[in-house]
Amino acid sequence: MVMSVMLVVEAVYNSVVSLGVKAIGWKPEWRFKWKALDGDDEEKGSAHYPLVLIQIPMYNELEVYKLSIAAACELQWPKDRIIVQVLDDSTDPFIKFLLQNLVELECENWANKGVNIKYTTRTSRKGFKAGALKKGMECDYARQSEYIAIFDADFQPEPDFLLRTVPFLVNNPEVALVQARWSFMNDTTSLLTRVQKMFFDYHFKVEQEAGSATFAFFSFNGTAGVWRTVAIKEAGGWKDRTTVEDMDLAVRATLKGWKFVYVGEVRVKSELPSTYKAYCRQQFRWSSGGAHLFRKMAKDVLVAKDVSLLKKSYMLYSFFLVRRVIAPTAACILYNIILPVSVTIPELYLPGWGVAYIPMVLTIVTAIRHPKNLHIMPFWILFESVMTVRRMRAALTGLLELEGFNQWVVTKKVGNDLEDSEVPLLQKTQKRLRDRVNFPEIGFSVFLFLCASYNLAFHGTTSYYANLYLQGLAFLLLGLNFTGTCSCCQ
C-alpha cells in the first residue's frame, strides 16, 4: 500500500506539471534561447551552420534500411555541413551478406547525389548499440562534428528536424541534448499497437514533458535526439555496461551539469513492435536495464558535485526508484497476487482506498492526457496488468543482476510491409504451439480464474470475481498470443 501511494503521488505530480504546461502554453523557447539559423548570410555561406553527424545504427535491418537512410539524407541542411554515418552491426550470415551489399549500394546512390555518407561495419557486435555508436565517434570526420543526431533504423525524421532542434544547442551552451517525440506509423493496425501508443504517449506527454519543464532532466530515448559532441565526451562516452546505454549517458551527462530540452512539437515517425513477444523483449530490456542502472549509478548521483540536492532527490526517488522499481513491483504484487489471494483468506483485510481509489486515480490521470483514447482505456488497463508481471521480473533481474540481466534482443521491424499488414484487432498467429503459447501468462490466467471462481462460490466479505475474471481473460488471450498481427510479422 505504501508503494502504491508513492506511485500515485508520482503520477499525479507529473500529470499536474504536464497539464500546467499545456494550460499556459509553455514552450521550451520560454526557458531556453531559440533563434533560427540565418541561411541568407552570403558572407558566411554554409559555414554559418555547424557540422552535424547523423548516426544510423542498424542490426539485420533488411526491412527498413532504405527508409532511415533516405530520411537522413533528405534532411534540410547544407550538404557540406552534414555527414550521414550508417553503422551496420548485422551478424546473420545470410542477411549480413545480402544487407551489406544492399546498404553499400544505397549509400553509393546517395553519395552520387552529393550526400556525404559513410558506411561502417564491425567484425564483432561487442557492446551492442553502444559499441557501434562509440566506434562511429572514433572516426576522424566524427571528431570534427559539433553535434550528433541519432536515429534508429526504423525512424524517419522530417526534413526540417535539424532546423528545429539544433538552434537550441547553438544558442544555449549549457544544453547537451535536444530530444524529439516519437510518432508511429502503425499505431492503428491492431489492438496491441493501440495500447502501446497509450503507453508511449503517457511517457512523452507526461514524464518527458514534466522532467524537461521542471528540472531540465529526463532520459534520452536512444533515438530521435541531437547531442552536443563535447557533452558525450565529457560524460565518458558510450558505455555498454547496461542495456539502456541511452539512459546511462543521459544520467552521466546530467551529473556533469549539462541540461536537456524536450521538444514535443517535433515528431519523428517510427514503428511499434508488431507482436506481443517482440514488445515483451523490448520492455524487458528497458525495465531490466533501468533497474540495473539504478544499482550502478545511485552512489554516483549522491556524491555528484555539479547537481543540486533537489535534482538529486528527483533523480533517485522519482526517476529511478518509483518509475524503475516500485511501479512494476507494486502493481504486480498488489493486483495480480495479493488481491486474488485475499479472496481465499477472510482474515486478510485490504483497505478500499488502496484497492479501488488508487487505481481509479491512476486511470483518471492517464485518461486526462488521452481523451481521444477513452474507448480503449479498459483494454489498456488489462494489458498493463499483464505487462506488470513481465516488467517486475525484468526490474528484479536487473536490480539483483540475475541471469539474463544484460540480454539484448533487437526488436523485429516490418518496414514497408506495414502497408500490407491490415488485420483485425485480435487475430491468432499461425505458429507451432510451443512458439504461440506464453507459459507465464497461461499460469497466471489459471491462478486468477481459480481465485475468481472461489470468490464467486463463497463470496466472503469481498466480491472481486468480476475483475479477476477479466484479468484472467487478459492473461489467457496474451498467453495464447492473440496479438493482433499477421504471422509474417513474428
Nearest to 172 by CA among 253, 261, 246, 76: 261
Q: Is 89 part of the annotated catalytic residue set? A: yes
- Alpha carbon of 399 to those of 66, 370, 386, 396, 406: distances in Å? 38, 32, 21, 5, 11
Give 394's Cβ-side CA count (13 Å radius): 26
Q: What is the DSSP letter of 18?
A: H
Query: For residues 50 and 5, what is the distance between their CA atoms, to the nearest angstrom?
Result: 48
State the DSSP H helix or E strand holding residue 441, giving kind and residue range, or none if neither.
helix 439-458
Q: Both ends of the chain: CA-CA distance in Å?
A: 39
Cβ proximity of 370 and 198 under 8 Å? yes
Nearest to 7 by CA among 386, 333, 379, 358: 358
State the DSSP H helix or E strand holding residue 121, giving kind and residue range, or none if neither.
strand 117-121
- Cβ burial of 315 (10 Å; 0-12, 13-18, 19+) is buried
- Backbone φ and ψ for 267, nearest 5 degrees, come out as -120, 145
Alpha helices per DSSP H over 25-92? 65-73
- Cβ burial of 243 (10 Å; 0-12, 13-18, 19+) is buried
Cβ proximity of 168 and 28 under 8 Å? yes
Q: Is 246 part of the annotated catalytic residue set? A: yes
Cβ proximity of 429 and 275 under 8 Å? yes
Catalytic residue among 89, 152, 187, 248: 89
Q: What is the DSSP letter of 324?
A: I
Cβ proximity of 87 and 55 under 8 Å? yes
- Alpha carbon of 347 to those of 341, 462, 466: distances in Å? 11, 11, 21
Cβ proximity of 186 and 271 under 8 Å? yes
Query: For residues 320 and 40, what is the distance between their CA atoms, to the nearest angstrom?
Result: 46
3-state percent helix, strand, coil for the chain, nearest multiple of 5: 60, 10, 30
Nearest to 484 by CA among 62, 61, 154, 186: 186
Nearest to 279 by CA among 200, 219, 222, 208: 200
Catalytic residue among 154, 187, 201, 246: 246
Query: For residues 263 and 113, what is the distance between their CA atoms, to the nearest angstrom?
Result: 31
As beta bridge partners, residue 180 has 263
Where in the sequence numbering do the catalytic residues fall? 89, 246
